[in-house]
Structure 1
Amino acid sequence: MAHQLPPLRCSRCATEFPVDSLVWLCPCGGVLDVADFGAKLPSRSELATRPATLWRYAESLPVPELPQVSLGEGMTPVVPAVGLPDARVKLEYLSPTLSFKDRGAVMLATLAHLLGVRRLIADSSGNAGTALSAYAARIGIPCEIYVPASTSPGKLGQMRAHGANVHLIEGNREDAARAAKVAAEAPDASYASHMFHPYFLHGTKTFAFELWEQGMPDTVVLPVGHGTLLLGAYLGFRELLAQGLIPKLPTIIGVQSANCAPLATAADAGAPGPATITPIPTKAEGIAIAEPARGEAILAAVADTGGTILGVTDDQVLKARTELAAAGFYVEPTSAVCWAAITAARTATAPTTPSWTTATPHLTTPNLTLALSGAGLKSPN
């Protein structure tokens, strides 16, 4: 039987849309989720016979594997964190385009191929654009990426190398998103948005499935901008719990740059939605998101796990990046925010705010895993 592409449902008004309508936002303004998708993980014995890619979880994914699209993404290694023997690091920067965004990009590219999409439009701070550019190149679909003019040259070079038409937009990340949305109104274009299209999250949820196989931690620490890794991981953990494969949800601690922290500010205030902020430029460009599209869902997700969201300074981030490099992990500043938060909690240098008070016991647990989400060559300075 042919693979059925699950429809999309508005999180606000529950209106459903067939996925081939290419709708990315409900007319009521609500973001879309995947409707009534009966995800089910195979047994561990069955998994042992499958290739070490995210497609080993085929029964839990909304699109079928197409060998002509895949780059072998998924099943990134987990290794001990040097200097913190009770912590582990999941090396997402060893993905094909050097960031976790490959997990979701392959979902969107596969969908585009199945639907016969003629042109892909996206906005990005860098990593989502590089991932989508690579997968679009694989299937021969023209790709246009809108990015802030300040985006790291390494990421721009990677996108262009894959053949993407890169549009540099003056202003911040939100300005790039607005430009992309206008371009996506063209009749031959599809807005392949990693923050709006929910199929992307069903790719990033495989991060959680892999941890289930590699050893489930008590606490997971993740960088947060638009939250596509965090929300995907939460979705995966919820599916594992629903199938009785884990006894409880791990606590999720999200980390933002203090220069652009609408979610951390909201968490400190106990607010259900992102705070209104004036962003300041930050070295952690990949999470410099002042208006996260799924902000309420992110805050609800971390709260459901007993976690919270923190902010760390650029000085802390750069110090953490140096420490990670000394331990063998060369990552971009966005990845280093997690190490910065863990270090602050374990050296008693964390602020005494409500969120840090909540997070510190979890950041000092003996069973913790953090994600290193993007490679250092993307932002070498």
Structure 2
Amino acid sequence: MTGPAEPFLYDRSGGRYPIDKPRWRGDDGSPLMVSALAGIDRDDVDTGERSQWRYRAALPYRITHHVSLGEGCTPLLEANIGGADVYVKPEWFNPTASFKDRGTTVMLSALRDQGIRRVLEDSSGNGGSSVAAYAAAAGMAAKVLVPSSASEAKIVQSRRHGAEIELIPGTRQATAEAAIAQSEDIFYSSHNWHPFFLQGTKLIAYEIWEDLGFRAPENVIVPSGAGSLVLGCSIGFGELLRAGQIKRMPRILAVQPENCSPLARAFAHGSAEPIEGDWQQSLAEGASIARPVRGPEVLAAVAESAGAFETVTEEQIRRATQELAWKGLYAEPTSAMAAAAVPGFTARGLMAAGETTVMVLTGSALKAA
């Protein structure tokens, strides 16, 4: 009887690469993924660990020394949002006040183990401040490219952690392109490209499973720009399903701003690729990504979960941000998109009464004041 196959990295053309060597994309230029893992059960959860590293048995290989600031273990709160009873997971309880810390802690821990000492990131804010903080904790140098239009509070946070900041004029896409150009000289630890970032974000699925008494919700509502949270939920709940710990995949209900919705538009038209368009900037700056690197994978993940996309207007985002604040939930506009989409998902019959729905609020409004 053979044991489980050793995990590996793979690209879109089928190329395979060692799991423990530093690499951020395939030889074909496509983003990498980790091969399917078997998942873990409740006995594998290290309940003595007060961070998301309690689920480290679910990672593809053993990281010798993990770089942690206490990320994960965020609350699960009951709330009525948009007329629906849901559970809210406020991710601003993470160390740098966004869900990005879940991916960064695993990504930078793996890279430090692999001998990388200087990293490059591009971000509209939350990803950059997260990489800056964890690089500082790991004793690594970091350079962050940021759109010149990004929130000043997020830029200040990255600078305070000691990162070198370069402001890039133009769109969020222009910043991503500038980072790829600079990746010849410094290792690109992109939260959108690096496969281990997704291995960190997938742990939110394990945490929701434990939060709900080791069961899965029927629905998970997430904002989507590049789609790392969509893919994290897909990977994590997929592993739990393979491990026999849940009975079915939750529906992944993803939200994009109408001003920049290449994934939602593609999903509506049955396209396997994000749709190009004359996209505009949105209040939801973290989701204003015109060319999501992992677009085909994100679209497939939503479809395979029997999920859906919803788009929301700028006015809906404004209103939802205020309505959440009136409930004591100080969410940035990118997060508030999830709340703004609830009436639309409900009207489409995707959130039925009596179902368990978890809404992920990805970041704090303190960083987008």
> Does the pair score TM above 0.5?
yes
CA offset at residue 43 of structure 1?
2.6
1:147/1:48 CA distance change after superposition, 3 Å: closer
Q: What is the distance in 2 between the residues matched to 1:147 and 1:137?
A: 18
1:1-381 matches, cutoff 5 A: 6-10=7-11, 12-19=12-19, 21-35=21-35, 38-44=37-43, 47=45, 49-62=47-60, 64=62, 69-82=67-80, 84=83, 86-186=85-185, 189-215=186-212, 216-346=216-346, 360-366=348-354, 367-380=356-369
The Cα of 1:309 is off from its aligned counterpart by 1.3
- Decide whether the 8 Å contact of 2:21 with 2:114 is kept in 1: no
- Mapped contact 1:342–1:364 kept (Cα < 8 A): no
Q: Does structure 1 conserve the Cα–Cα contact (< 8 Å) formed by 2:263 and 2:295? A: yes
3-state SS of 2:86 partner: strand
C-alpha distance after superposition, 1:20-69 (max 9, x if no partner): 55332223233211136x4431435x537432311111211135466662
- Contact 1:255 1:311 survives alignment (8 Å): yes
User: What is the TM-score of this pair, normalised by structure 1?
Assistant: 0.90
Q: Secondary structure at the match of 1:362?
A: coil
8 Å CA contact retained: 2:22, 2:111: no
RMSD value over aligned CA atoms?
2.0
3-state SS of paired residue (1:88): strand
Aligned structure 1 segments of 4 or more residues deviating by more than 6 angstroms: none
Amino acid at match of 1:151: A
- Say which SS state the counterpart of residue 143 (structure 1) adopts: strand
Displacement after TM superposition at 1:159 (Å) = 0.6
Q: Deviations over 1:308-332 (max 9, x none)?
A: 1111011000100000000010011
2:3 alignment counterpart:
none
Q: Does the 8 Å contact 2:218/2:357 carry over to 1?
A: yes
TM-score (norm: length of structure 2) = 0.92
- Structure 1 unaligned blocks of 5 or more: 349-359
Aligned equivalents of 2:38 and 2:54: distance in 1? 13
Structure 1 stretch 232-241 or stretch 59-68: which is displaced more?
Answer: 59-68
Q: 1:244 to 1:257 in 2, by over 3 A?
A: same
- Relative distance call for 1:65 and 1:16 in structure 2 (3 A) is closer
Deviation at 1:248, TM superposition (A): 0.5
SS at match of 1:363: coil
Q: Percent identity?
A: 40
| 8 Å CA contact 1:42, 1:59 repeated in 2 | no
Q: Aligned letter for 1:238?
A: G
Aligned residue identity for 1:181 = I
CA contact (8 A) 1:201 1:232 kept: yes
1:181 to 1:222, Cα distance in 2 relative to 1, 3 A:
same
Q: Would you say the 8 A contact 2:41–2:240 is kept in 1?
A: no
Answer whether contact 1:155 1:378 (CA < 8 A) is retained: yes
Q: What count of residue pairs does the alignment treat as equivalent? A: 360
Range 306-315 or range 46-55, more displaced: 46-55
Counterpart residue identity of residue 101, structure 2:
D
Distance 1:35 1:219 in 2: 25
Range with greater deviation from structure 2 (274-283 or 57-66): 57-66
- What do residues 334-355 of structure 1 show as CA deviations (whole Å, max 9, x unaligned)? 0000100003445x6xxxxxxx
